[in-house]
Structure 1
Amino acid sequence: MALPLDRMLVDDAQAARRLRIIAISLMFGAVGTFSILDTTAKYLSSYESPLQVAWLRYVFHVVFISILLNPWSSPGIWRTKKPGMQFLRSVLLAGTTVFNFSALQTLQLDQAITVSFTTPLLVAIFAGPILGEWIGLKRMAAIGVGFLGVLVVTRPGVGTFEMAYLLAFSNAICGAFYNIATRFVSAYDSAKTSIAITGLFGALALAPIMPFVWHWPESGWIWGLHIATGAMGAFGHYLLILAHGRAPAPILAPFVYCELVFMTITGWLVFSDVPDVWTLAGAAVVIGAGLYLLLKERTPKTQTDIVD
């Protein structure tokens, strides 16, 4: 017996909502992993060049993935239907890593991550014309408010402006286009293929620079942390790819705000960094914007959603 049309529509809507909740959960896991990765990278960058830290992160990413996802256990893992887009995506990710690790040499973890929260705004702006994933005016306004919170943290034109903030913003730009590219390739390649190719292309892109910045790690402890960055990078981006395969980029982008909480905790535990009043104020604004977007996502759809 066929189900009534209205029942089918309700079931489809519920299934789509479940997929989005799963995607958001995967996003939480990804940003938590990235917080530990950035904390480790900041620590390593006090011993070595951020470029070397970034390169070894990708080298061990490739080693880790090659062990788990080799051609015997996962046939065809290295074959992609979109090699050009995968290469562009990998270059963008390498850019985010280099800019982020460089900014972390000077900035606190909470400062760097708050600046990177311009990524959701940029994703929302470009995902529409590039992917056809448009959001309503209210959601766009909420992300814009979050961007104002970032300005509270950086306070351009007031007091001493750290040039490292520009590195953090460059990280956000690369990250926005990386997120969009990830959403695009998820329709053609499996998450396993994307995560394998990302590490390989990232390592190849940074390899020519290594002779100019290389410094042998000082101890087995440092080598162990480098290995850990590769493992965390691979796992975090695997979760990110899975999330983008289940929900549109503008829906997922605001949930990177949760990384601020993780970064503040790890910055305090590892480096004894305490956010100043401006960072706390800006964080309150961006988290408020993120919570608003979460509330809109959980609210049942109505005819007014065109402006939501």
Structure 2
Amino acid sequence: MAGGFFLFSAVDTVAKFLTESLDPIQIAWSRQLGLVLGVLVLLALRGPGLLRTAHPWLQIGRGALAAASATLFIVAVAFVPLADAVAVSFVAPFLVTVMGALLLREHVGPRRWTAIAIGFVGMLIVIRPGLGVFHPAMSLVLVAASCFALRQIISRRLSGSDRTETTVAYTALVAILLLSLPLPFVWQTPTWGLEMLLLASIALMAAAAETMIIKSLELAEAVVLAPVHYSLLIWGTMYGWLVFGQLPDGWTWFGALIIVATGVYTLHRERVVKAASSPSK
């Protein structure tokens, strides 16, 4: 899980660098290529039965959300520091909890609702609307985080009926198809050398990162692994400083720490609730 997030941070860094010369849709499309190639290999080995699903529209919707979240985040980081965007994206776990309560009727106690409220205060400290430091691109990060959270909710709904590889296949194929529709209108032929190398690298790193995270979820429960998600802030800050010379200010660190602390507490409460509801061994 940690290795996967390390690679995803590298992908975001390269994507931000490439926005100086290429359209975000083209970058997001290239980002999906590695995973699509892996899915095509699986289809060749296992046949079309891999795409058999009990909920085709949910699978298609999840793929559309994957395309939207990736594209919106890439557009956003073209205008704001990488670490700031990563910090705001940490509202996704809280949104998963809220959506789980509203859409899946999952029980959320007063402690977790309080943690969610405090987490949103942390987000407001990071973006500071009305104080002259808020960039409109941050709203795209919030929409991207919402898309990511809704993807997680759909994943929970699908987990009882569809195999993991089926969900991955639909996500990759639907996302690449949707991103291919506007691609001819924004396509710029990459220059041989650096741009081609960077586009190939994000395809390979994104595919490797996705595979590592899926494998980690097969080996351990999501509530155990979820806090590792916050390592993105470390890698995002490191890459942002090394590549772009950008470091978060004190308020951003303060708000990010509030988000991380309340996020870890929310995940802890989820683990406690699951342990209490599981049958005794």
* Class of the TM-score when normalised by the shorter of the 2 chains: 0.7 to 0.9
- In 1, the alpha carbon distance for the partners of 2:47 and 2:73 equals 32
Same amino acid, percent of matched pairs: 35
- In 2, the alpha carbon distance for the partners of 1:273 and 1:72 equals 45
Task: Identify the match of residue 25 of structure 2 among 51, 74, 77.
Answer: 51
Change (3 A) 1:300 1:229: same
Contact 1:257 1:287 in 2 (8 A): yes
**Structure 2: which amino acid aligns with 1:135?**
V
Task: Identify the match of residue 156 of structure 2 among 168, 183, 191.
Answer: 183
Superposition CA RMSD, Å: 2.7
Match of 1:222 in 2: 195
- In 2, the alpha carbon distance for the partners of 1:75 and 1:204 equals 17
Contact 1:258 1:287 in 2 (8 A): no
Task: Identify the match of residue 265 of structure 1 among 238, 245, 260.
Answer: 238
Deviation of 1:92 (Å): 0.5
Q: Indicate whether 1:132 and 2:110 are aligned.
A: no
Task: Identify the match of residue 170 of structure 2 among 171, 192, 197.
Answer: 197
Q: 1:127-168 CA distances to partner (integer Å, 9 max, x unpaired)?
A: 123223323221232232122111111100111421111111
**Structure 2: which amino acid aligns with 1:206?**
L
- In 1, the alpha carbon distance for the partners of 2:215 and 2:53 equals 17
Deviation of 1:295 (Å): 5.1
- In 2, the alpha carbon distance for the partners of 1:209 and 1:160 equals 32
Change (3 A) 1:241 1:172: same
Contact 1:120 1:254 in 2 (8 A): no
| TM-score, scaled relative to structure 1 | 0.79
- In 2, the alpha carbon distance for the partners of 1:146 and 1:257 equals 13
Match of 1:63 in 2: 37
Name which of structure 1's ranges 135-144 and 121-130 shifts more when overlaid on structure 2: 135-144
| Uncovered stretches (5+) of structure 2, i.e. residues with no partner | 277-281
- In 2, the alpha carbon distance for the partners of 1:188 and 1:254 equals 27
- In 1, the alpha carbon distance for the partners of 2:33 and 2:273 equals 45
* Aligned residue runs from structure 1 range 1-308, under 5 A: 26=1, 28-67=2-41, 69-72=42-45, 76-241=49-214, 247=221, 256-293=229-266, 296=269
**Structure 2: which amino acid aligns with 1:87?**
I
Deviation of 1:47 (Å): 1.8
Secondary structure in 1 aligned to 2:160? coil
- In 2, the alpha carbon distance for the partners of 1:136 and 1:55 equals 40
Task: Tell which structure's C-alpha radius of gyration is larger.
Answer: 1
| TM-score, scaled relative to structure 2 | 0.86
